[in-house]
Amino acid sequence: MSRVVVAGSKDVISPVVEKLHELRLLHIVNYNGNQPEFELGKPIGKAKEYSENLIKLRSITRYLEIKNKAPEKTYPESQVLSEMDNLLNNVGADVTATYERITEIEAEIKSKQDQIRSLTPLSVIPLPLEAYHGYDSLATFVGTVVTPVEADVARVSPVNEIFTGTAKNATYVAVFVPVEKASEVSAVLSEHGFSEMSVPKLEGNVDSAIASLSGSIKSLESELMPLQKKLADLKKQHEDLMLATDEYLSMQVSKTEAPLRFAETDNAFVIDGWVPSDQYSRLKSELESAASGKLDVQLIADKEADDLVKGGEDIPTKMDNPSLVKPYELITRLFAIPEYKEFDPSLLIFIFFPIMFGMILGDVGYGIIILLILTLLKKRFRTEGWQQLINIVMIAGVWSVIFGIFYGEIFGPLGLWNYMVGMLTHHQMLELQEAGLFFGEGTYGALGRVGPLGIFPLYRLATNAVLLLIGVSLFIGVIHCSVGSILGIKTELNYGEKKHAYFERLPVMLFQVFFAVALLGLVMGQMIMVYIGAAVIVLSIVMMVMGPEGAMGLAHVPSYVSNLISYLRLLAIGLASVGLAYAANQLSFYVIMPMLSGGATNSADFSIPAIIVGVVILVAVHFINILLGILSPFMHPLRLHYVEMFTKFYSAHGGGVEYSPFGHVRRFLKA
């Protein structure tokens, strides 16, 4: 990145802004207005008109429930301009009127439904509706009671009229007493658990009132239908054009309001900003030709730029990765944007993340199903974020197919595949498993077993395989953490903090690497490796105490060990998913199918209903396992990156600012 200053005459501010917007190169640093010689810029052109139109358009799109989506066709600016007036005024008025009428009708329907609800219980009281209202000298109480009230009401008010009715286990009463007795009667009623109801001001018999209300609800609903259809039609007809207009207006607003970010004098303007160093000469020549010479673009020397950075300005970071690695920027960005001098970890995520995913899921069948599902989803979800996410999981899916071949798993170990073409009988397999000698069957038929000692395909549920995978997981952890530590050292050196690099980052790496060496020595029975490991571990702890944190650094030591143990999840989550797949296959082939076909042991004797039930259960459990098999192998490597690796180099200096050049990527508008 290079720091530039663009200064020019105010005459050419519009063409310059137009050009900057088109180039999309300059990351503008907002002028903060604290220099007395310069004031903040003012909007140019028809800024007010554009933003008013934009607000109008947004309210219309809100009524139509238009959401941003992937563009199906694009519009030239001239078409947008010529149709904007019609869209905002005629179509807009139509939409607003229709929408308002719909809300009105919905409110009316709702109030009528409420009236019906409060009328329904009153049908048990033999009174017309007009009898409840319009008295000067009578107080009315209508509601439900728990116990009979006649006697007590007669006690406080000898003059009374009481009507009762029962429906659905509740007793409804209508009590009429002289007004002057109202408060006493109210007290008596509340002793009987009285709860008041409101009576709508209507006339006639209760049942006929309900019938006429439901009739008018029906007619309102029939009026509603065509209106909603009209709104849907309008949406269909204008959706794309409205999105294009929205884009056009947003672009115009950002252009006309851009000078608010500039510094201005009476006759000139100054723009501060950052530009990628290799694009500087292009920016300079393009801007100068656009302003026909009434402008100057200056590069600020590195030293001066450093001073600006020390004064609190952020150098924007542009993450630049090959297209295959690009999707993984999503994971980096979710955590933090790297600072300008920091290492961008996207490449590392690209290397480690899919391998970890594959190592956990490791199943040819699941991998292929995930790839198929994602190919379909990729066509449906076209926004950038979804595409990146889908690409990440697709690459991971390829790796899980590769690991599936190593593990010999196709829909679970000893699963479909083995059952159909396997060479060992189930009994022979069990005997080998009990003897601890079983690494899985020769899934590949004539190919037999491959690898040292013929361990592939590995049967992950076998004891030996679990022990082997514990070791492999730990060593992946050591490599992963060491890469993090090396980058941590490099980053600290970039910031010129030697003490932090050599006495804070380096000991961590030494500790973890030689911890693993000592463990390996223990397993292999080579005591010399254990001694070397122990010696270096002690050395690294001494270095840590000499470091910037002093003796406090010792507090971190347990976490270095726990960091490594955390990598056991690579094995553990995988075991859980294999276990479920294995259970599904066992349940279906060795329990359900033989049981339902009357104890048959040979697959040829299975009855057709038994096979159908077995297959349904098989598909259901495998389906659940695939869903889990996308989620947890995604989350756990993510955690290994965020917690175990990033903490070693990435989060020390806080998040950076992303390079977001002034300009706009056209989506619905033709260039």
Residue 173 region, left (φ>0) first, then alpha (ψ -120 to 50), else beta? beta
**Interface residue with other proteins, options 260, 572, 580, 596 (CB under 8 A):** 572
Residue 347 beta carbon to other proteins: minimum distance, rounded to whole angstroms: 18
Identity of the residue, 257 or 644, whose beta carbon is nearer to other proteins in the bound complex: 644
Which contiguous run of DSSP H or E holds residue 105? Answer: helix 92-119
**Interface residue with other proteins, options 53, 157, 171, 566 (CB under 8 A):** 566
Identity of the residue, 232 or 565, whose beta carbon is nearer to other proteins in the bound complex: 565
Residues within window 615-654 making contact with other proteins, judged by CB under 8 A: 635-636, 638-639, 642-643, 646
Residue 562 beta carbon to other proteins: minimum distance, rounded to whole angstroms: 6
Cβ-proximal residues to 163 (8 Å cutoff; 6+ apart), any chain: 125, 126, 127, 173, 174
HSE-CB of 110 using CA atoms within 13 angstroms = 6
Residues within window 420-449 making contact with other proteins, judged by CB under 8 A: 436
Long-range contacts of 29-33 (CB under 8 A, 24+ apart): 29/272, 29/273, 29/274, 29/313, 30/261, 31/261, 31/262, 31/263, 31/270, 31/272, 33/263
| Residue at token pair 């109480």 | 141
Interface with other proteins, residue 556, by CB under 8 A: no
Identity of the residue, 500 or 569, whose beta carbon is nearer to other proteins in the bound complex: 569
167 in Cβ contact with 121 (< 8 Å): yes
Identity of the residue, 330 or 493, whose beta carbon is nearer to other proteins in the bound complex: 330
Residue 647 region, left (φ>0) first, then alpha (ψ -120 to 50), else beta? alpha
Q: Could you tell me which residues are beta bridge partners of residue 176?
A: 140, 161
| Residue at token pair 């989060």 | 651
**Interface residue with other proteins, options 21, 238, 500, 569 (CB under 8 A):** 569
Amino acid identity of 290? A
The 10 Å Cβ neighbour count of residue 596 is: 17
Identity of the residue, 535 or 635, whose beta carbon is nearer to other proteins in the bound complex: 635
Identity of the residue, 482 or 566, whose beta carbon is nearer to other proteins in the bound complex: 566
Give me the 456-485 binding string for other proteins, x by CB under 8 A, dash otherwise.
-------x--xx--x---------------
Stretch that binds other proteins, among 33-41, 106-114, 154-162, 566-574 (CB under 8 A): 566-574
Distance CA 32, CA 594 (A): 79
Q: What is the crossing angle of helices 346-361 and 364-380, to 10°?
A: 130
Residue 548 beta carbon to other proteins: minimum distance, rounded to whole angstroms: 24
136 in Cβ contact with 262 (< 8 Å): no
- Kindly state the number of chain residues that form the binding site for other proteins, as judged by CB under 8 A: 22
Identity of the residue, 324 or 561, whose beta carbon is nearer to other proteins in the bound complex: 561
SS3 sequence of 222-244: HHHHHHHHHHHHHHHHHHHHHHH
Residue 555 beta carbon to other proteins: minimum distance, rounded to whole angstroms: 16
Residues within window 144-163 making contact with other proteins, judged by CB under 8 A: none
Residue 639 beta carbon to other proteins: minimum distance, rounded to whole angstroms: 4
Identity of the residue, 562 or 660, whose beta carbon is nearer to other proteins in the bound complex: 562
Q: State both tokens at 611.
A: 């096979």
Burial class (CB in 10 A: 0-12, 13-18, 19+), 93: exposed
Long-range contacts of 495-501 (CB under 8 A, 24+ apart): 495/341, 495/653, 499/547, 499/548, 500/547, 500/548
**Interface residue with other proteins, options 127, 154, 520, 568 (CB under 8 A):** 568
Residue 351 beta carbon to other proteins: minimum distance, rounded to whole angstroms: 20
Identity of the residue, 195 or 463, whose beta carbon is nearer to other proteins in the bound complex: 463
Describe the chain by its helix, strand, coil percentages, rounded to 5: 65, 10, 25
Stretch that binds other proteins, among 113-121, 190-198, 500-508, 561-569 (CB under 8 A): 561-569
Residue 294 beta carbon to other proteins: minimum distance, rounded to whole angstroms: 40
Residue 646 beta carbon to other proteins: minimum distance, rounded to whole angstroms: 8
Give me the 302-341 binding string for other proteins, x by CB under 8 A, dash otherwise.
-------------------------------xxxx-----
Which spans of this chain sit near other proteins (rule: CB under 8 A)? 333-336, 436, 463, 466-467, 470, 562, 565-566, 568-569, 572, 635-636, 638-639, 642-643, 646
